[in-house]
Structure 1
Amino acid sequence: MNEDGVRERAGSLPREPGVYQFRAGETTLYVGKAVDLRDRVRSYADPRSARIRRMVDRADGIEIAVTDTETQALLLEANLVKRHQPRYNVRLKDDKSYPMIQLTAHEAPRIEITRDPDESATVFGPYTNKGQVEIVVKALRETYGVRGCSDHKYAGRDRPCLDYEMGLCTAPCTREIGLERYSQDITAVERFLEGETGVLADPLRREMEAAAENQNFERAAHVRDRLETVDAFHGEGGEAVQSIGDERAVDVLGVAIEGEDATVARLRAEDGKLVDRERHTLEAPGSARDDETDGVPAVLSAFIVQYYAERELPDALLLPERHDDEEVAAWLEAEGVAVRIPGAGREAKLVDLALKNARRNVGRRDECGLLADALELDAARRIEGFDVSHAHGKAAVGSNVTFVDGSAETADYRRKKLTEQNDDYDNMRALLEWRAHRAVDGRDDRPDPDLLLIDGGDGQLEAARDALSAVGWDVPAVALAKAEERVVTPDRELSWPSDAPHLHLLQRVRDEAHRFAVQYHQTVRDEVKTVLDDVKGVGPETRKRLLGHFGSVENIREASLEDLRSVDGIGAKTAETIKSRL
């Protein structure tokens, strides 16, 4: 669309508030809001940057929607940006990948980690560190015996399951604990998740001190590590939150920008307590509006509208700097939201904490940008890693791990049993064919990755590329060889400095794929023939008791000597033999 085309289209537009879209065929390139549609669209006939000119040149049409008020235009813009994800808008990406903790709506509520909570459940989070959440949930279960089983397993039981024997559940299913007492334990769990750290930290501290007093130093160290995680779970900033005053809900935003990527960290304080923190990723290309300020103000205004358009607004927003969007300011004022940019004091400490959280994430995203540049890719945000593991062809398995923005996305891990053969190349080919077929056939619910990383060298990469070509899945693939940490591409080998951030990213993906493959191989191997079969002094009955008590060979492997001796028929010598053998 040329300058004359923009002017001609603008001349036919009303002088009313509304939303406009620059379109290229069926694709929306940009969505904007305007107090006066005619004036705003006409301004694009003389763009002041090469980027805006490219957007206008690509467009072949402009669509509009008139609204009654400027606020309606602002909210409609947010919805259209979310729906169409236009290339030239600052746009908030989906935040559903963050883990949450829910207590189900049941006579005996279940605690679980989820990314898609039930509407009727009591939900806490979202959280950014899934490993930390898992540790805390396990500590809550061990301390308060809250069940983790499905409602199907809960119903119709006549005796408690293994979780009861392991001290993870008080078995309300068979009324080993009454529902009234169980409800009291649920209340304690809720108090902890609402910010009362001592509800869980105090029992753990007593357990640690008792273990040390009994000279069970291994157990004391284990509880100490868990206690540190629990103490850190609700994060820093508690002292600062106490200054909030009469405002019930306060959100604190911090922004970090790296190239065309931005991270907004959001802290939430309710009733004087810091209840959660989360980070959101935005793509922040150069502004497509002549009169809009780039950088942090543009990211703040886009985030505030797109995030809160479908959520309840807080009583106050603490920002690192002004967003400079008059329509957004008018909307927040009309909704009664106080907006402050603190320069000192306790509120400034909260803003600093939000900025620290944002910068921590955007640094990881910089690794992805460096990797994309080094490999000449459009992006490297989403990486899938692959490895195979077997024992001379036996119990052959493959792993498929996923990293997003430099962090492991464990919900998107997959694994597969492979045909038993002592050929790493054929095993890798079979693994990639399986993944490619699932993608091409639409049977995989994950988005296509930006890059595939193969654990190995030229041979493994060639086998993987053969599989991709045979199936017709067009995704870039490289390999990382362990010995010299060489990055192998289809046409060359790259040797990057050992301290290169993008090399460290590939190493993390490669190492995690290897760990996940080996772990699954051990599980499959144990399913076929447990290593207990070869332990002297462990017969069929003893093996049955061990597996019945611990649930799996993996749990036996992790058990202490004291735990092993607690099983009938296991003496000190046999326990030491088992520990040594496993």
Structure 2
Amino acid sequence: MNADGVRDRASSLPREPGVYQFQEGETTLYVGKAVDLRSRVGSYADPRSARIRRMVERAETIEIAVTDTETQALLLEANLIKRHQPRYNVRLKDDKSYPMVQLTSHEAPRIESTRDPAESATVFGPYTNKGQVETVVKALRETYGVRGCSDHKYSGRDRPCLDYEMGLCTAPCTREIDLESYAEDVTAVERFLEGETGILADPLRRDMEAAAENQNFERAANLRDRLETVEAFHGEGGEAVQSVGDERAVDVLGVAIEGEDATVARLRAESGKLVDREQHTLEAPQEDASEESTPAHASGVPAVLAAFIVQYYAERQLPDALLLPERHGDDEVAAWLEAEGVSVRVPGAGREAKLVELALKNARRNVGRRDECGMLADALKIDAARRIEGFDVSHAQGKSAVGSNVTFVDGSAETADYRRKKLTDQNDDYDNMRALLEWRASRAVEGRDDRPDPDLLLIDGGAGQLEAARDALAAVGWDVPAVALAKAEERVITSHREFAWPSDAPHLHLLQRVRDESHRFAVQYHQTIRDDVKTVLDDVPGIGPETRSQLLGRFGSVENVREATLEDLQSVSGIGEKTAETIKSRL
């Protein structure tokens, strides 16, 4: 797409906030957010960097989505980046995502909070407060009885499940409510999610007042808290980045330089609170002895600031204010920021000065630290290695076989994204690894895993384990680079060669941390499974040897017993509702 094509497309866009996507066929090249779609997209007719110029030249179309607020644009952008992993959104590829509420397209729609909504669903959001979303979804279910169960649980039932008994669902599965009446309740839920707060707040208020009159003060207090959450729900998106005065968002920058390396620490303050912090490494501009250090030829911290501001914010929404440790000294950058309405301050005292000092401390702590992820990507000749998933298997001569799946982001463990898998017992490390990777790949390809695709997979083992893993990836069709690292000689094995990196190489240390953590997590889970088989069921009151044998025969393992529903447990002879509840609480 040339400059004229960009201008023509921009001229037809509204002057409203939203998100835009540069597309090459079905491939999303770049996702950005804008306060003014027409102005922002139009600016790509004259890109500020060679990389963005190349992206614009590749693009064939520009798609947009209009949002009600700048905040919704911010959050929608983050979700689209996570889903599409656009090539030119390098610095914004993170694993942050925001919850949405979806009503599925089934004949009896299901309501749920999700970070990866179905294409066919009716979706509301995104929102910033997951706890608030879950409270509202539960209140909607209690008020209107909309189901939240899985398709598997919904289909083929001959009697309502426990949600019906608890008043969370009107049981359209068994036609305790006819589909026409159920559809009316779903419409009421949609009206609330579209902004009609009273449709949920009014019945909650009536229930609260009735509970207070009946002196049921604990229930009245719970309903009061829920009512406050519901009434604040539709203001949440717009308030997420509001701060004192007219400034919604303030970025604080700190710079530290060591030799040829410079680190810029960026802090983000919203609503008077720190909500984000990150570091970026730059190559520090070298001073030229033949040039005088004037604002026109700035060096040191000013030059780093000027370079960072242009490179970082040319592709991002600018904040309302920038707090700097000193002036950047670049007239062109100053003019650009002024035109964009950004207030630039170098505070000397007070709370703002303390924020700058905090940014400086973050920068000094990280200056000179080498970019392990970048070095690893360069060494393996892959696009990126920021997000790595590690895999290992553990068993005792084929018994209690398990697999681990750990995640590292920017060189640090992301424990919230750890997963583990009970495998079929067999004394074959290659087949176990193949099964583990097939499980992970299938979930990714089918959209059943809520994590972003990694940049790299690390297999704990040698060439045999790597080959088994690659077989699984090929069979499923998941195109992610994979390498192996064995403890024996610490050689990195790829599909076509082996690397013997120096023992002090930072990128080798990164792989070793991932490998060791995946091994630890697998062994820990194996020990848990092994110990569970020996002791856990024996310690459950009301479970004797015969019932224990029936449970294991019915479900296959303690892990499957743990994951079984109350209804499934009661299907075993001799287990009633009370015993089933005891099993669930103990396991």
Residue 375 of structure 1 pairs with residue 380 of structure 2: yes
- Counterpart CA distance in 2 for 1:454 and 1:375 is 15
CA root-mean-square deviation: 5.8
AA at the equivalent of 1:297 = I
- Counterpart CA distance in 1 for 2:337 and 2:38 is 12
Give the deviation of 1:483 after TM superposition. Answer: 2.1
Give the alignment partner of residue 345 of structure 2, picking from 337, 340, 343.
Answer: 340
Residue 297 of structure 1 pairs with residue 295 of structure 2: no
Contact persistence 1:250–1:317 (CA under 8 A): no
What residue in structure 2 maps to residue 452 of structure 1?
Answer: 457
AA at the equivalent of 2:54 = R
What residue in structure 1 maps to residue 324 of structure 2?
Answer: 319
Give the deviation of 1:460 after TM superposition. Answer: 1.4
Give the deviation of 1:429 after TM superposition. Answer: 1.6
Listed as ranges, the matches of 1:511-526 within 5 Å are: 511-526=516-531
Contact persistence 2:251–2:266 (CA under 8 A): no
Give the deviation of 1:513 after TM superposition. Answer: 0.5
Contact persistence 2:438–2:473 (CA under 8 A): yes
What residue in structure 2 maps to residue 266 of structure 1?
Answer: 268
What residue in structure 2 maps to residue 393 of structure 1?
Answer: 398
Listed as ranges, the matches of 1:364-443 within 5 Å are: 366-443=371-448
Residue 6 of structure 1 pairs with residue 3 of structure 2: yes
Closer, same or farther in 2 for the Cα pair 1:509/1:524, shift >3 Å? same
Q: Residue by residue, what CA displacement relative to the aligned partner does 1:28-86 show, whole Å, maximum 9, x if unpaired?
A: 55868799899966656xx9x7545533432446x699x9xxxx999999689655786
Q: Residue by residue, what CA displacement relative to the aligned partner does 1:145-202 show, whole Å, maximum 9, x if unpaired?
A: xxxxxxx9xx9xxxxxxxxxxxxxxxxxxxxxx989x99xxxxxxxxxxxxxxxxxxx
Q: Secondary structure at the match of 1:529?
A: helix
Listed as ranges, the matches of 1:433-512 within 5 Å are: 433-512=438-517
What residue in structure 1 maps to residue 253 of structure 2?
Answer: 254
Q: Percent identity?
A: 60
AA at the equivalent of 1:305 = Q
Closer, same or farther in 2 for the Cα pair 1:253/1:448, shift >3 Å? same
Contact persistence 1:92–1:282 (CA under 8 A): no
Closer, same or farther in 2 for the Cα pair 1:58/1:471, shift >3 Å? closer
Q: Secondary structure at the match of 2:503?
A: coil
What residue in structure 2 maps to residue 290 of structure 1?
Answer: none
Contact persistence 1:260–1:283 (CA under 8 A): yes
- Counterpart CA distance in 1 for 2:218 and 2:40 is 62
What residue in structure 2 maps to residue 353 of structure 1?
Answer: 358
What residue in structure 1 maps to residue 132 of structure 2?
Answer: 118
Give the alignment partner of residue 278 of structure 1, picking from 276, 289, 294.
Answer: 276
Q: Secondary structure at the match of 1:466?
A: helix
Listed as ranges, the matches of 1:39-438 within 5 Å are: 43=46, 50-51=50-51, 53-60=53-60, 88=88, 92-93=92-93, 96=96, 116-119=130-133, 253-254=252-253, 264-266=266-268, 270=272, 276=274, 278-280=276-278, 295-298=307-310, 301=313, 305=317, 318-320=323-325, 324=333, 329=338, 339-342=344-347, 347-357=352-362, 366-438=371-443
- Counterpart CA distance in 2 for 1:502 and 1:491 is 19
Q: Secondary structure at the match of 1:117?
A: helix
- Counterpart CA distance in 1 for 2:361 and 2:533 is 49
- Counterpart CA distance in 1 for 2:313 and 2:355 is 20
Q: Secondary structure at the match of 1:511?
A: helix
Q: Secondary structure at the match of 1:305?
A: coil
Closer, same or farther in 2 for the Cα pair 1:92/1:429, shift >3 Å? closer
- Counterpart CA distance in 2 for 1:491 and 1:13 is 47
Closer, same or farther in 2 for the Cα pair 1:342/1:517, shift >3 Å? same
* Aligned length, in residue pairs: 380
What residue in structure 1 maps to residue 559 of structure 2?
Answer: none
Listed as ranges, the matches of 1:541-556 within 5 Å are: none
Contact persistence 1:267–1:354 (CA under 8 A): no
What residue in structure 2 maps to residue 219 of structure 1?
Answer: none
Task: Report which structure shows greater RCO (CA 8 Å, sep ≥6).
Answer: 1
Contact persistence 1:389–1:521 (CA under 8 A): yes
Q: Residue by residue, what CA displacement relative to the aligned partner does 1:104-137 show, whole Å, maximum 9, x if unpaired?
A: xxxxxxxxxx98332588xxxxxxxxxxxxxxxx
- Counterpart CA distance in 2 for 1:414 and 1:29 is 30
Give the deviation of 1:370 after TM superposition. Answer: 0.7
AA at the equivalent of 1:464 = A
Contact persistence 2:21–2:63 (CA under 8 A): yes
What residue in structure 2 maps to residue 230 of structure 1?
Answer: none
Contact persistence 2:263–2:364 (CA under 8 A): no
- Counterpart CA distance in 2 for 1:77 and 1:327 is 23
What residue in structure 2 maps to residue 527 of structure 1?
Answer: 532
Closer, same or farther in 2 for the Cα pair 1:13/1:463, shift >3 Å? closer
Give the deviation of 1:473 after TM superposition. Answer: 1.9
Give the deviation of 1:442 after TM superposition. Answer: 2.2
Give the deviation of 1:527 after TM superposition. Answer: 0.8
Closer, same or farther in 2 for the Cα pair 1:346/1:445, shift >3 Å? closer
Contact persistence 2:261–2:367 (CA under 8 A): no
Give the deviation of 1:391 after TM superposition. Answer: 1.5
Q: Residue by residue, what CA displacement relative to the aligned partner does 1:445-470 show, whole Å, maximum 9, x if unpaired?
A: 22221111111112211221222222
Q: Residue by residue, what CA displacement relative to the aligned partner does 1:542-565 show, whole Å, maximum 9, x if unpaired?
A: xxxxxxxxxxxxxxxxxxxxxxxx
Closer, same or farther in 2 for the Cα pair 1:253/1:528, shift >3 Å? same
Q: Secondary structure at the match of 2:131?
A: coil
- Counterpart CA distance in 1 for 2:478 and 2:245 is 57
Contact persistence 2:279–2:363 (CA under 8 A): no
Give the deviation of 1:94 after TM superposition. Answer: 5.7
Contact persistence 1:385–1:513 (CA under 8 A): yes
Contact persistence 2:11–2:42 (CA under 8 A): no
AA at the equivalent of 1:436 = A
Contact persistence 1:433–1:471 (CA under 8 A): yes
Give the deviation of 1:441 after TM superposition. Answer: 2.3
Contact persistence 2:405–2:418 (CA under 8 A): yes
Gaps in structure 1 of 5+ consecutive residues: 100-113, 122-151, 156-177, 184-244, 285-292, 542-582
Q: Secondary structure at the match of 1:444?
A: coil
- Counterpart CA distance in 2 for 1:462 and 1:494 is 16
TM-score (norm 1): 0.50
Give the deviation of 1:280 after TM superposition. Answer: 4.9
- Counterpart CA distance in 2 for 1:86 and 1:261 is 26
TM-score (norm 2): 0.50
- Counterpart CA distance in 2 for 1:518 and 1:295 is 47
AA at the equivalent of 1:279 = R
Q: Residue by residue, what CA displacement relative to the aligned partner does 1:198-234 show, whole Å, maximum 9, x if unpaired?
A: xxxxxxxxxxxxxxxxxxxxxxxxxxxxxxxxxxxxx
- Counterpart CA distance in 1 for 2:12 and 2:470 is 56
Q: Residue by residue, what CA displacement relative to the aligned partner does 1:375-429 show, whole Å, maximum 9, x if unpaired?
A: 1101111111011111122211111111111111111111111122222222212
- Counterpart CA distance in 2 for 1:8 and 1:522 is 62
AA at the equivalent of 1:399 = S
- Counterpart CA distance in 2 for 1:493 and 1:302 is 40
Closer, same or farther in 2 for the Cα pair 1:256/1:485, shift >3 Å? farther
- Counterpart CA distance in 2 for 1:360 and 1:531 is 46
AA at the equivalent of 2:385 = A
- Counterpart CA distance in 2 for 1:15 and 1:97 is 30
